[in-house]
Each structure stands twice: as C-alpha cells, then as structure tokens.
Amino acid sequence: MRVALIGYGEVGRILAEDLRQRGAAVGAYDLKLDPSDGADRGAPIREHAAAQGVVLARGHAEAARGADLVVSAVTASQAVAVAEAVAPGLDPGAWFLDFNSASPGAKIRAAGFVEAAGGRYVEGAVMTSVPPYRIQVPLLLGGPHAAALEPVLNGLGFAAKVASETLGVASATKMCRSVMIKGLEAMVIEAFTTARHYGVEDAVIASLVETFPGIDWEKQAAYFFQRVIEHGRRRSEEVREVAVTVQEAGLAPFSASGTADRQAWVADLADAGLFGAKGTPDYARSPDWRTEADRLLAHLAPAGQA
C-alpha cells in the first residue's frame, strides 16, 4: 500500500516512521517545503524523510497521485484547504483520511471536495495526544466509507474504530472532549501561574489533591505547560474549531474562545523565545511547572500584569 502524508510535523513524522516499519511505501508533502516568504524551513523535513525512506512531493496533488490512502495531518485551519488542494491528484477510489481536529461543518466541507474528485472521504477524530501512543492512538472514524476503511487502517497498525456512518459525529466527539482537555490546560496555566505570583501554589495544589485525589497535579501541570509551550499554536487553532463547533450547536463559545486566546498567547511567547530555543533538548521539558510559570511572571512584571 502507498500512503501519502499531507503535513509532516510531529504527527506526520510519527506516522511516517511507524508506517515505514510496517512496510508501507510513504510519500509526503508539507507547506514548509515551499514557503511563501522564500525562507528555507524544510531542511529538517528533508533530513527526516531521507532517513525514513519517505519520498517528498512538490505539491499537494503530486503527493496524492498514485496513493491508495492520503492522510491529512495539518493544522485545523488548513483542513478544508488541504482537501481542496489534494483533490485534483486523487486516484478514483483513493481513501482520504482527515486526521485534523476540525469542526463537523469543516469536515463536511472537506468531504465535498474529495468526493467530487472521486475519492472516498473518512473523518478521523484523534482522541488523545499522539506521541505516547504513536500510530496506535485511539482513532474514531466517521462517514459512509468509515466501515470499509477501518480494517485497512488497522492492518497498517492504526487503532481505529467506527463511530458513525454520519459525517460530523466523530469530530463532534473530539471537539466536545477538547472543550474540557484544552480548557483544562489553559486553566491550569492561568491558575497555577497566578497562584505562583501570590505564593499560594502549594495551598492551591493541596486543595486540588483533596478534591481530585486521583490526579498528580504537580506532574499534570508540568505536562500541560510543556504541551502548550511546544504546541500552543496548533492547539489554539484546534480550539478555534472547537468554538465553531459550539456555535454550530447554538451556544456562545465563552470557554472555548478564552481557551484559544490563552493557548495562542503562550504560543506567541514561545515564538519570541521566552521559554528557550526551539529544537534544543531541554525546550519545553522542565519537570517543574514553576520554572515556566516564573518565566511568564518575569515577562509580565515590567508591564504590571499578573
């Protein structure tokens, strides 16, 4: 089987490694290979692809051409645009697995481009963080072609399960979960950093342990800080889609919108180098959340913001 990966970030690289280990022929394309500003950001992609035996394409459609399965793993805001860009290169009957965290409405729009080109669109809802599970991350499938694709994916090493034949159900499950999970990340960063400012973090954590004794709040907080610092941009875009999902249900997305703003705020500071140099071994890897909270507080102190 030939698999084309659209998006060669953290998720794309993990999938590439695991698929190659299982003998799949893998091709890929990422926008960083052809940036609009002319800057060369593709060197790490080319190095990883060469090491894994992944063939890089020069565009979306070229990557899809001849592939049995196309996996779209990009940022949430690009989910529909990628489906449109890939569609001209799809072979008749080729699978298109939308791995992106997008709203049900966005998935339905993306499906329209794929189906019009003769492809078979299946939405995929990734139900937890990919790195610990790798290709075995719990994956919900949705749409009329989901049942047919399920054994194909599981034969490649995925842990896929059909959620519904109706498009949007799998992504709605993912989006509603993200209201909680991404919201909890944002709340922990906000609450723990503020508690650190006032010197009451130990008392706050002790109270949380008493209320939720099953959670190691020190360890969980460190993990939340790490993930948001490293992937806040992608997470903020996902939560924008979460907000759209909430709006599609008729609710004002108060929590989701605030979460997206907080995640984007951390991402901006990470891009500015507040947490150290990206790509270094210790970047976003502090075992103590206080290290990162203190950096935030030191940044905010001159402006009197806490």
- Give the per-residue pLDDT at 306: 45
**C-alpha–C-alpha distance, residues 40 and 156, integer Å:** 33
Task: Please check whether residue 26 is in contact with residue 55, taking contact to mean a CB–CB distance below 8 angstroms.
Answer: yes
Q: Has domain 2-165 been given CATH number 3.40.50.720?
A: yes
Condensed to tens digits (0 to 9), the pLDDT of residues 192-229 reads: 999 999 999 999 999 999 999 999 999 999 999 999 99
- Give the per-residue pLDDT at 304: 57
- Give the per-residue pLDDT at 303: 60
Q: Which fold has domain 171-303?
A: N-(1-d-carboxylethyl)-l-norvaline Dehydrogenase; domain 2 (1.10.1040)
Start-end of CATH 1.10.1040.10 domains in the chain: 171-303
Start-end of CATH 3.40.50.720 domains in the chain: 2-165
Residue ranges in the chain modelled with pLDDT below 50 = 306
